[in-house]
A = this chain, B = another copy of it.
Amino acid sequence: MTAKSQRHWDGEVGDLLRVDEGFHLADCDPASTPGYLKGKKAGAEDLASGVDELSDLQERLFARSRVDRTDASVLLVLQAMDSAGKGGIVRHVVGSVDPQGIALTAFKKPTAEELEHDFLWRIDKRLPEPGIIGVFDRSHYEDVLIGKVRRLAPAEEIERRYDAINDFEKRVVDSGTRLVKVMLHISADEQKERLMERLDRPDKHWKFNPGDVDERMLWPQYQEAYQAVFDRTSTDHAPWYVVPADRKWYARLAVQHLLLVALEDIDPQWPRATFDVEEQRARLAAT
């Protein structure tokens, strides 16, 4: 399935980026642009026309939820190493539609209260309502990523979590949510450049944290933890998409594409009037 408004794809991007059996993260080139033979300029055109389509679909989805009983919603889950571009996706892809229809949650280190509950407790509370496009900037996957790498939980608890995630996501999908799980995949070299830029520019210092370097030193462990996530939680009902992200324009275009496909799959129609249009016209005219 291909998003109608993006004209320059040369392949089925969903198929190309989806994590299927036998996927190896190490074989995925972060600088590649799978399915897109044209360059940045065509990409910018496609992104702009995609904005219009995304806005239209989002408004229809929202409209339905205001009038009909619909259970449809979308949930974009964004995971990545630091500086891979989650913020840019939020700003330039998600931020292009009406804020009314968006529910964005940035998950931080769990609070004391959150730690008293199961790791999915805080996630469950932030699932999107019908009609809404939810966005998770980090997610329950942190609990099997940093959770595993930093040994924040015993190994058997990490094991249990993969299955718990699959069950949880099955329930989410069955309740009408299109789940779009994206890992933005950058190279270690590209991350180094981006972190260095944050150090070079005073207006970027706030985005830098010494802890970012600590995490970077565990790069191979994180790549392994991601591979385990893909092996264990890329399911038929909730597959993962690994989006090469060294080229920001490609990553934004590809994520926009995945959102468009999810919304086209819902195919939201303008809801019918729940009132008699002529009657209301007459009432209004009389005022």
| Chain A residues proximal to chain B, CB less than 8 Å | 63-64, 66-67, 87, 90-91, 94-95, 97-100, 102, 104, 106, 137, 192, 195-196, 199, 202-203, 205-210, 213, 216-217, 270-273, 275, 277, 280-281, 283-285, 287
Contacts and interface: CB of A to CB of B under 8 A. Distances in A.
A287 B192 contact: yes
Contacts of A280: 199, 208, 210, 213
A287 B219 CA distance: 10
A273 B94 contact: no
A137 B101 CA distance: 13
A258 B210 CA distance: 38
A91 B95 contact: no
Given A99-B91, A102-B99, A284-B213, A67 B206 contact: yes
A275 B199 CA distance: 10
Contact of A270 (B66, B94, B206): B206
A217 B277 CA distance: 18
A281 B196 CA distance: 7
Contacts of A271: 205-206
A202 B270 contact: yes
A139 to B, nearest CB: 16
Given A206-B270, A270-B206, A275-B208, A196 B100 contact: no
A210 B275 contact: yes
Nearest to A204: B270
Contact of A90 (B99, B203, B285): B99
Given A94-B99, A99-B99, A99-B104, 20 more contacts: A67-B206, A87-B98, A91-B100, A95-B98, A95-B99, A195-B284, A196-B281, A199-B281, A202-B273, A203-B270, A205-B271, A206-B270, A206-B271, A208-B275, A208-B280, A209-B275, A210-B280, A213-B284, A216-B284, A217-B287
6 contacts: A90-B100, A91-B100, A100-B104, A199-B277, A213-B280, A216-B284
A170 B234 CA distance: 52
Contacts of A270: 202-203, 205-206
A47 to B, nearest CB: 17
A249 B239 CA distance: 44
Contacts of A98: 87, 90-91, 95
A196 B66 CA distance: 20
A215 to B, nearest CB: 10
B205 A277 contact: yes
Nearest to A210: B275
A245 B277 CA distance: 26
A199 to B, nearest CB: 5
B272 A205 contact: yes
